[in-house]
Amino acid sequence: MTEATTTKAKATIVMTARDRFSMAVRALNEIAKVTTKPYDLIYVDGGSPKSVADDIRATCETHGFRYLRYDHYLAPCQARNIGHSLSATPYVVYCENDVLVTEGWLANLVACAEETGAEVVQPLICQGTPLHTEIHQAGGNFTDDMDAFFNGTEDQRRLSDSHLWHQGEQVGDVELVRTETQVTEVHCFLVRRDSFEWLGEFDENMPCSKDHVDFSVNVWSKGGRIMLEPSSIVTFCVPSRVHPVEPVDRAFFLLRWSPKWQRQSLNHFQKKWKLENDPYFDRYLKLTGWRYREGVAKPLIRKIPFIGHSYKVQQAGSFLLMPLLKFIGARLSDQQAQDYRPSGPAPTQPTSDASDRKTASSAAA
């Protein structure tokens, strides 16, 4: 483990993997390049291949960041809880390892939290290239009727699909101001650290889908607030031809988006918030394979000489590959269940004060 602690830092950046490892070094270097000190940074590495892990570790050592290594994969909520347990600053800022930041992003998140008192602050999240120009998410809603969602009957309680406001629009074409939002995406967001005492930790029963909505619903259900701070701008590098899923990423990507993990997450979310009568879930369960198709199947088929870029070939090839990818994903899910360990500091690299904080955090939850 590499470790550096800045005593005057207000925020600890916890970087975790979303569904890939190959962009981590670039994301870390970008933070080091443009982010004004002081701040702490903890990289939680769950199971990246050795060649990638060595590069991530070396990058952390170069910049004085803390590096924590697990040899098995970690679901995002599990990795976030580990990072939270090791933080000691007033704010914890979660940043996935495929997010690139801009100057002022961190200072503006902290300023919003301090000026508004909000428990959670999210930046303006962009997508695609050129970087920081096209909006991915600028706030959104998880329900059209907050009162009915929390106080109504089960037939009145409904999720909304309007949690990606302004997606696809150009940053320069939209006039955004600091405002409350029902939903934060989890690509990048700030949490006031002492709020975990009443929010509890991230729900590890949700290994993938809708963990951002679950977290947002939890914040509002307990009287917290989420703010959008548009002066803080970051870009989520969506898996694409520009930022592809690399060979070193495929196993984790297939686990992360396995239909089995998605069904587990959705079923838990549905029961937790008493949404059994909401037709939203029937629609969403039909979409559990699209990331396999777009992130792995089609890119593999495009590598076939001469015919790989044909639309018809990609459609047919994806149809043939999908059963195999789903089988691999199911096997990885089963193996992960066997390898699963409760979140906490890496057992091979213990630190007593971190362990104490984890125990206290679990008790508070």
Full-model pTM: 0.90
* pLDDT of 6 strictly over 60: no
Tens of pLDDT, residues 186-233 = 999 999 999 999 999 999 999 999 999 999 999 999 999 999 999 999
**Once rounded to an integer, what is the mean pLDDT over residues 238-243?**
94
Contacts of 87 (CB under 8 A, 6+ apart): 12, 14, 40, 42, 193
Chain mean pLDDT for the chain: 90
How many Å apart are CA 292 and CA 112, to the nearest integer?
A: 37
CB 2 within 8 A of CB 54: no
Start-end of H helices in the chain: 24-34, 50-63, 76-86, 105-116, 146-151, 196-199, 211-221, 250-256, 259-272, 280-285, 290-292, 298-302, 311-339, 352-364
**For position 214, what pLDDT does the model report?**
97
According to DSSP, the residues that pair with 127 across neighbouring strands are 134, 236
* pLDDT of 358 strictly over 50: no
Helices (H), strands (E): how many in the chain? 14, 10
Q: Residue 130 CA to chain centroid, in angstroms?
A: 22
Tens of pLDDT, residues 58-107 = 999 999 999 999 999 999 999 999 999 999 999 999 999 999 999 999 99
How many Å apart are CA 25 and CA 215, to the nearest integer?
A: 27
Tens of pLDDT, residues 285-327 = 888 999 999 999 999 999 999 999 999 999 999 999 999 999 9
pLDDT band at 348; cut points 50, 70, 90: very low
Long-range contacts of 219-222, Cβ-Cβ distance < 8 Å, separation of 24 or more: 219/119, 219/120, 220/146, 220/150, 220/182, 221/150, 222/198
How many Å apart are CA 203 and CA 124, to the nearest integer?
A: 24
Q: H or E element: which one contains 125? A: strand 120-127
CB 198 within 8 A of CB 222: yes
Q: How far apart are the first and last CA of the chain?
A: 27
pLDDT band at 163; cut points 50, 70, 90: confident
What token pair was written down for 286? Answer: 């039909």
Task: For the beta carbon of residue 110, count every other beta carbon within 10 angstroms.
Answer: 20
Tens of pLDDT, residues 51-64 = 999 999 999 999 99
